[in-house]
Amino acid sequence: MPHDQELKLLPHGPSFRFIHSVTDLDPGVSAVGTYDISGDEAFLEGHFPNHPMWPGVIMIEAIAQLGGVAAQSDPDQERLNDMRLTSVKNAKILGTATPGATLEIEVKVEGRLGNLIQISGSVSVQDGEKIASSIVMLSGS
């Protein structure tokens, strides 16, 4: 069952949201989501001309966004205000994606300490090939 209402937990506007659908959610623990690359995204015109390729930093941002959804959905934790990406560790860009691809983003909440939340995540394309992974730290007040 889709959990798309959980996308409202993100502070980002639709033009900077890199999750289209939350397909699986274990509140406060993990989440799976998708993003369909349309090719109409404005930044693809320059990344790269005549050969559009999804930027690695956007894949890391998608991990952080879905991690925020997973963390903020925890019924046993008070939601944090002004949640932000504050650290990126062990980021690996392992492949590429182009318009027409569907990205599958998977995240797990690894730990919480006060207003800090550590998330591990990965991005794969529809054939299951992992194209990015990272550990991100989110913080809020």
Q: What is the CATH number of the domain that holds 35?
A: 3.10.129.10
* pTM metric for this prediction: 0.95
Three-state secondary structure readout of the chain: CCCHHHHHHCCCCHHHCCCCEEEEEECCCEEEEEEECCCCCHHHHCCCCCCCCCCHHHHHHHHHHHHHHHHHCCCCCCCCCCCEEEEEEEEEECCCCCCCCEEEEEEEEEEEECCEEEEEEEEEECCCCEEEEEEEEEECC
- Encode pLDDT of 97-115 as tens digits: 999 999 999 999 999 999 9
pLDDT of the residue at 1? 53
- Contacts of residue 95, defined as CB under 8 A and 6 or more positions apart, other chains included, come to 125, 129, 130, 131, 132
Total number of domains constituting the chain? 1
Could you say which of 3, 12, 47, 51 is catalytic?
A: 47
Residue-range definition of the domain harbouring residue 112: 4-139
Is residue 47 annotated as a catalytic residue, yes or no? Answer: yes
Average pLDDT of the chain is: 94
Q: Measured in Å, how far apart are the chain's first and last C-alpha atoms?
A: 31
